[in-house]
């Protein structure tokens, strides 16, 4: 088994165990057994569990960005449709049997206070999502604060769905997002009509 193969097996096992059981509950010996590698190989590739958590979250970030951007792009060219597609993407995720909330929020709750590198990684992930929403709002022609409002709806939906075990949370967030978006579009349209015409 090459080092790349062993690394992939460790990260795949770690992602599943951390997400299902929590970061603190999973020990290195359990991880070694799940990955099918020796403890020596595990420590050679990842000197600490914190290193594994960072690697898992880095990979999760890349998967999230790729999955979300592809899903949103498939919604068509309309910025409004793309913004609402974010919540449809969440709903599909919430419906999976393995859904246990946001891995980044979970990591921050368990480890953010004692592992600054992990806390920073979580912040960067959330900031990246906010930039993604801001880009879509900019294409919509709406003011910047709308992006923050829509991002908060999405973040709140993730936490609420995890606690309530209810995928319908995403559709409620989507309906609220539509109200916010349409209110901004209506306001912008009204402002344009109210502008005095030049003589």
- Residue from 100, 96, 116 nearest 108 by CA: 116
Degrees, nearest 5: CA angle 50-131-159: 60
Phi, psi of 198 (to 5 degrees): -75, 150
Q: What is the CATH number of the domain that holds 30?
A: 1.10.10.60
Co-location of 116 and 184 in the same domain:
yes
Provide the token pair at 47: 């000197």
Tell me if 144 sits within 8 A of 137, measured CB to CB.
yes
| Residue 59 domain flag | yes
pTM of the complete model: 0.89
Co-location of 74 and 143 in the same domain:
yes
Look at the chain and report how many structural domains it folds into. Answer: 2
Residues 49-97: tens digit of each pLDDT: 999 999 999 999 999 999 999 999 999 999 999 999 999 999 999 999 9
Q: What is the CATH number of the domain that holds 85?
A: 1.10.357.10
- Residue from 188, 75, 186, 179 nearest 136 by CA: 75
Domain of 136? 53-194
Co-location of 43 and 57 in the same domain:
no
| Residue 112 domain flag | yes
Co-location of 189 and 100 in the same domain:
yes
Provide the token pair at 126: 């959330």
Co-location of 41 and 64 in the same domain:
no
Co-location of 81 and 158 in the same domain:
yes
| Residue 171 domain flag | yes
What are the CA-CA distances from residue 132 to residues 68, 79, 125 (Å)? 10, 12, 11
Co-location of 139 and 159 in the same domain:
yes
Co-location of 108 and 162 in the same domain:
yes
Residues 142-191: tens digit of each pLDDT: 988 999 999 999 999 999 999 999 999 999 999 999 999 999 988 766 55
| Residue 199 domain flag | no
| Residue 4 domain flag | yes
Co-location of 85 and 21 in the same domain:
no
What is the reported pLDDT for 25? 93
How far apart are the C-alpha atoms of 172 and 39, rounded to whole Å?
Answer: 46
Co-location of 73 and 24 in the same domain:
no
Co-location of 94 and 10 in the same domain:
no
Co-location of 78 and 168 in the same domain:
yes
């Amino acid at each position: 088994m090459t080092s790349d193969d062993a690394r992939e097996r460790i990260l795949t096992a770690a992602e599943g165990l951390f997400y299902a059981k929590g970061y603190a509950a999973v020990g290195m010996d359990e991880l070694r057994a799940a990955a099918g590698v020796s403890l020596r190989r595990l420590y050679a590739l990842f000197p600490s569990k914190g290193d594994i958590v960072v690697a898992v979250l880095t990979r999760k970030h890349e998967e999230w960005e790729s999955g979300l951007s592809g899903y949103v792009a498939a919604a068509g060219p309309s910025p409004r449709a793309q913004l609402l597609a974010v919540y449809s993407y969440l709903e599909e995720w919430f419906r999976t049997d393995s859904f246990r909330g946001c891995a980044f929020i979970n990591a921050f709750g368990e480890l953010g206070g004692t592992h600054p590198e992990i806390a920073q990684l979580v912040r960067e992930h959330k900031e990246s999502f906010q930039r993604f929403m801001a880009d879509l709002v900019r294409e919509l022609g709406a003011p910047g604060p709308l992006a923050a409002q829509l991002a908060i709806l999405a973040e709140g939906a993730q936490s609420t769905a995890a606690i309530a075990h209810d995928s319908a949370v995403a559709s409620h967030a989507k309906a609220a997002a539509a109200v916010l978006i349409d209110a901004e579009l209506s306001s912008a349209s009204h402002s344009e009509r109210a502008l005095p015409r030049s003589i």
